[in-house]
Amino acid sequence: MGALGITIALLVWVVTLLLISIWKQLYSSWNLPPGPFPLPIIGNLLQLDIKDIPKSFTRLAKRYGPVFTLYLGSRRTVILHGYKAVKEVLLTHKNEFSGRGEIPVFQEYKDKGIIFNNGPTWKDVRRFSLSILRDYGMGKQGNEARIQREAQFLVQELRNTQGRPFDPTFLLGCAPCNVISDILFHRRFDYKDKTILRLMSLFNENFYLLSTPWLQLYNNFSNYLRYMPGSHRKIMKNASEIKVYALERAKEHLQSLDPSCPRDVTDCLLIEMEKEKHREKPPMYTMENISVTLADLFFAGTETTSTTLRYGLLILMKYPEVEEKLHEEIDRVIGPTRIPAIKDRLEMPYMDAVVHEIQRFINLVPSNLPHEATQDTMFRGYLIPKGTVVIPTLDSLLYDSQEFPDPEQFKPEHFLNENGKFKYSDYFKAFSAGKRVCVGEGLARMELFLLLTAILQNFNLKSLVEPKDIDLKPITIGFGCVPPHYKLCVIPRS
């Protein structure tokens, strides 16, 4: 028995050595960017802090340079760190790296809609959605008027709190949610409506869960973890419910569709579906694809802007001197009663700088969404094979210490020149860049400016704790940086 045991142990040892050597040979035969040696199955998991993967990327970039390879589980991944490398990938090689890296927890949305679409329909669906969004954004009933109208509802709702403490999550969230809902479904909700509150809680919970350590593990080891219990199931369930909501709206719209008079984005997508019925080629605008497109725009259009507003107010309470300067600028340029307009931004460099600095500082999507190489690509002398996941990190630009001295500090001066005028920075890439650049950038920027200005025109913010005790650190970092929970009071200025 003893001899048999020793023989088996020796055999296992020899086979393991053999496997490692084959793995090493395979690995070094590719001309990939440098990186730590990966282990079979777990890849470079041991080199990552799953509670703060973006920080691990920054640490590894110090050792391996701005372009390095990591194995996230068995997925070959190239990380880009810093302005030059990120811009080169997103703008110089824009087609080669315009694929979408798989996000396994969104299996149900895979290769449909826009965000998670790495299939042949992505380009057309994205292009068509952008053109409809542009149409609905312009003109008299365009986005500016839409946001201005919503800003008045938001101000009224804030007034109704009568100076009492409240959690701003859903109250603030209703404004961007109503704006995008009006564009997509020609529908806005009362701030107490159960449907909007339910939808926002789904968006909010998914953004939080996606940023937890478990999901970083799940998205890289989904083959092994798929059948386990855990919060990935909750995300899938929530995403399904959002899609069902969008599908129901699409079905409802179909019944009353008048192709000569589209009411909203849903109608435009359905008209395209009807047109396709007379064509030969395989249909692209199926009800399934339409509902994923609508769901994409609905949650991406709500959660991002809503979280930025919520984080922004917390930051302003920590720095009352910044809030005071904003009040002064608003009073001087707009006064107490006129509804803020986009043209005011030109005369409000301080507000413009504060909005940019909020977005820079909160670093909402630190590692961007994963891209994928659509073909074998030579990049800086390395060969990046088709199918490689490519991560053009955004935090490496937003926290660049040359461009933004003291990047860890919240300083509107990062976006102001010595004359107090707004200073543009090409490092400000909170919305990414290139072929996959955020579809809602224009809308989000307008919302942030108009809604924050309207809030501060009408209210003073009052924290329940001393400013020095406000902790701005995110409560979890993963897909996003999630702000701490808090309550505040808003006190009418007149």
Contact residues for ligand HEM, defined by CB under 6 A: 100, 114-115, 126, 180, 296-297, 300-301, 304-305, 308, 364-365, 368-369, 430-432, 436-440, 443-444
375's tokens: 């073909």
- Least distance to ligand HEM from the beta carbon of 197, Å? 20
Give 257's Cβ-side CA count (13 Å radius): 19
Q: For residue 99, what are the β-bridge partners?
A: 372
59's CB contacts (< 8 A; 6+ apart) are: none
Residue 179 φ then ψ, to 5°: -65, -50
What does the DSSP 8-state code read for residue 89? I
- Least distance to ligand HEM from the beta carbon of 445, Å? 8
Nearer to ligand HEM, 45 or 180 (CB): 180
342's tokens: 């986009």
Rounded to 10 degrees, the C-alpha dihedral 430/431/434/439 comes to: 180
Give which of 269, 258, 267, 259 is closest to 292, Cα–Cα: 269
Nearer to ligand HEM, 9 or 138 (CB): 138
Tell me whether strands 67-72 and 476-477 are parallel, antiparallel or unpaired: unpaired
- Least distance to ligand HEM from the beta carbon of 78, Å? 15
For residue 21, the tally of other CB atoms under 10 A from its CB is 10
Q: Is 81 helix (H, G, I), strand (E, B) or coil?
A: coil
Instruction: Round to whole Å and give the CA distance between 349 and 356.
Output: 11
438 is in an annotated binding site: yes
Instruction: Round to whole Å and give the CA distance between 63 and 68.
Output: 9
Nearer to ligand HEM, 38 or 262 (CB): 262
Instruction: Round to whole Å and give the CA distance between 57 and 49.
Output: 9
Chain-centre distance of CA 311, in angstroms?
A: 14
* Residue type at 469 in one-letter notation: D
- Least distance to ligand HEM from the beta carbon of 358, Å? 9
Q: Is 328 helix (H, G, I), strand (E, B) or coil?
A: helix
- Least distance to ligand HEM from the beta carbon of 432, Å? 3
Instruction: Round to whole Å and give the CA distance between 48 and 391.
Output: 15
- Least distance to ligand HEM from the beta carbon of 208, Å? 16
313's tokens: 């107010």
Nearer to ligand HEM, 129 or 212 (CB): 129
- Least distance to ligand HEM from the beta carbon of 443, Å? 5
Nearer to ligand HEM, 267 or 296 (CB): 296
- Least distance to ligand HEM from the beta carbon of 392, Å? 7
Nearer to ligand HEM, 45 or 105 (CB): 105
Q: Is 243 helix (H, G, I), strand (E, B) or coil?
A: helix
Q: Is 39 helix (H, G, I), strand (E, B) or coil?
A: strand
- 């919503």: which residue's tokens? 150
Nearer to ligand HEM, 115 or 215 (CB): 115
Nearer to ligand HEM, 60 or 443 (CB): 443
> Which residue numbers belong to the known binding site for heme?
438
